[in-house]
Each structure stands twice: as structure tokens, then as C-alpha cells.
Amino acid sequence: MERKVIKSECRKMILKVKEFCELESKNKELLIPLKNVQMRIAAMTGVFVKKVSRITKEGKNRPQTKKVDLDNFELSAIRQKIHFTWLRKSYIR
């Protein structure tokens, strides 16, 4: 694994998460229920819940793949390949 330089802001966040986990360990119970994921993250990192939800929304956005336009020849070739593969598998059983 390649070593990476961690900036001071990230180091502070890691320490906050560590302190939160140690506090839960010391109390031997969860401070915030596991169902409240965003609240737990906000409490661990010291960031507002709204910021956490905004960041998670950004992470969910993926570029949509373009649909491929196939003509009849290509469709029948794909069908034939699938059908042939299915036939071979049924003989193996």
C-alpha cells in the first residue's frame, strides 16, 4: 500500500472520530443509534448534518450511460449467441 500525506484538517477529523469511538467504548453503549447514520457521521467528524447529507448526495450522482442503438442484425446476432449459449449449458447438465 502506498503511503499518502494526510493534511492537518484530515488529521483533526481522524482524531475526532477516534475520540467519539473511545467515548462510546468507555460508556459501553452507542451515543447515537446506528439507524441515524448521518447524525453519527456528523457527531464523529464535527460537521453539520446538512453538510454530511450534501456530500453523500454528491457521491451518489453518477454519469448515466448512453443507451446503445442496435439494428435488427445486431439484435438477432445477440439473440442467437444467447440461445446458443443456453443450449450448450442445457446439454452439460
- Dihedral of the alpha carbons of 81, 87, 92, 93, in degrees to the nearest 10: 130
Backbone conformation region of residue 9, classed left if phi is above 0, alpha if psi is from -120 to 50, else beta = alpha
What pLDDT score does 91 carry?
54
Give the pLDDT confidence of 26-51 residue by residue, as tens digits: 999 999 999 999 999 999 999 999 99
Which letter does DSSP use for residue 31 in this model?
A: S
Find, among 45, 16, 43, 18, the residue nearest to 32 by Cα.
Answer: 43
Give the pLDDT confidence of 49-83 residue by residue, as tens digits: 999 999 888 888 777 788 888 999 999 999 998 88
Task: Show me where the domains of the chain are located.
Answer: 8-60
What pLDDT score does 68 carry?
86
What pLDDT score does 93 carry?
54
More confident position, 72 or 89: 72
What separation in angstroms does the CA of 17 have from each of 9, 44, 53? 13, 5, 18
